[in-house]
Amino acid sequence: MIRRGNAADRATLAQHTRLPTPGPLSGALKLVGISLGVVLVSALAVSAFVVSDLLGRVGEDAVVLEDAPDVAPPTLGAYPGDQAFSILVVGTDECGERSTALLGARCSEADGLSRNDVNLLVHVSAEPRNVTVVSLPRDLMIPVPGCTREDGSEAPSMSTAPLNSVFDHAGLSCVAKAVGDLAGIPIVYAAKISFDGVMAVTEAIGGVEVCVAGDGIRDEQAGIDLPPGTHEISGPQALAFIRTRHGVGDESDLARISNQQQYMSRLAKKVLSAETLSDVPKVLRLANAIAENIVPSVELRDPLRLAQLGLALNDVPFSDFVFVQYPNLDDPDNPGIKVVPNRDAADVLWAAVKSGQPLQLTGDVETNDGVELVAPAPPTEPVPSSSAAPVERATLPPDISGQNLEQETCSVGNLR
């Protein structure tokens, strides 16, 4: 029971002293305090709802990666500094509701096939972190191991097959297994995004500014018509930009990869910018788009794990964030149609990636006239102290093309 006390227990006021009357300022401050309290509680409630919602939606259809190495459960903070990791990002040509309405015949003529047309192996080194994104051509002929499909059935191995046929053959896990074997790098994490997902993510981030050179890009099959200059693209236009093949360079898939790398480089810079990271509504829109449109592997379905991996990229210099194209040669059995690995150059690439050193590019930024360099990387700043050791870099041969985030390129349109 609360003790009320009697008059003798209470402090007394002078007999003629007036009790203070709350003024308008005091009342206003109380209202501000109450308002802040309501806002704080509301923010916490919304945050709890968002986290709960993401936990419920991220990974609803998560895929188990066959033969993937075990990893420790995620914890608060960045990914362990002494560990490298690789993520396979697969873009499929699957049509959802929006893309079916947009592309029409393109979707109806697919005959139920789902191809992995974009294949990106993202490797993040141990600390000090650097990032290498390897684009593997969709028409690359590679050996495919035997795989277990999601329904438990066994998919037979193939001595050689186009890379973009593997997803339809046996799913995301098999693509990860085949690419991991090709690279000699264990792939613990993987994610798949479809046409609808590409549109949703670009809209969530507020669009991406791309550069068009040459005569402009016009490709009726992809549904794009962009004159020379810079353009903010989002949604259907962004999908058309990364799909276009006949509108850039020599109309090959290799030219399209260079075009996609320009887009991905500019997208990465926008996502990693302070402008984006400090914009809470934009970050929530992006998180929501990812939850709705990306199918992750089991190890990626935990938002805490996603936060770990994101924090690992926080301080990577733009000069150490590199996009490269997997080195390849014309396939003698399918000249002008398929390509095969350039094993000598590829061995150098994978060894450099696994060394953990940042990469030094010596080749062109483009392949097959897909892009042109408009802003070279700035010169390296002098080392402030003579006692500081220079950064050791792994030098790639000239036949490996690519660019880092410090460089800016423009897609070379051909208006064919």
Give residue 315's pLDDT: 85
Per-residue pLDDT at 58 exceeds 80: no
- Assess whether pLDDT exceeds 90 at residue 73: no
pLDDT at 379: 61
Cα 284–chain centre separation = 16
Q: What is the pLDDT of residue 388?
A: 55
* Contact yes or no for 217/226 (Cβ under 8 A): yes
Q: pLDDT > 70: what percent of the chain?
A: 81
CA-to-CA distance for 375 and 333, rounded, in angstroms? Answer: 39
What's the rounded Cα separation, in Å, for the pair 321 and 403? Answer: 9
Axis crossing angle, helix 235-243 with helix 195-204, rounded to the nearest 10:
130
Q: Which of 6-15, 114-123, 170-179 has the lowest mean pLDDT?
A: 6-15
46 strand-pairing partners? none
Exposure string for 136-172, b = 16+ CB within 10 A, e = fewer? bbbbbbbebbebbeeeeeebeebeebbbbbbbbbbbb
Residue written as token pair 């898939």: 253
Arithmetic mean of pLDDT, 376-397 = 68
> What average pLDDT does this structure show over 386-400?
81
> How much is the pLDDT for 305?
86
How sure is the predictor about 289, in pLDDT bands with cuts at 50, 70 and 90? confident
The pLDDT value given to residue 10: 41
- Inform me whether the pLDDT recorded for 47 exceeds 60: no
Determine which of 3-7, 229-233, 402-406, 407-411 has the lowest per-residue pLDDT on average: 3-7
pLDDT value for 416: 56
3-state secondary structure of 262: helix
Mean pLDDT, range 341-354, rounded to an integer: 97
| Of the candidate ranges 59-68, 187-196, 199-208, 321-330, the one whose mean pLDDT is the lowest | 59-68
Q: What is the mean pLDDT of the chain?
A: 84
- pLDDT of res. 56: 52
Residue 238: the pLDDT is 96
Q: Which residues contact 412 (CB under 8 A, 6 or more apart)?
A: 213, 214, 248, 249, 366, 369, 370, 371, 372
Q: Per residue in 302-320, pLDDT tens? A: 878 888 888 888 889 999 9
Q: Residue 210 pLDDT more than 60?
A: yes
Residue 366 burial (CB count, 10 A): 27
Answer with the residue of higher pLDDT: 357 or 104: 357
If you average pLDDT over residues 96-106, what whole number do you get?
A: 87
Q: Percentage of residues in the chain with pLDDT exceeding 90?
A: 62
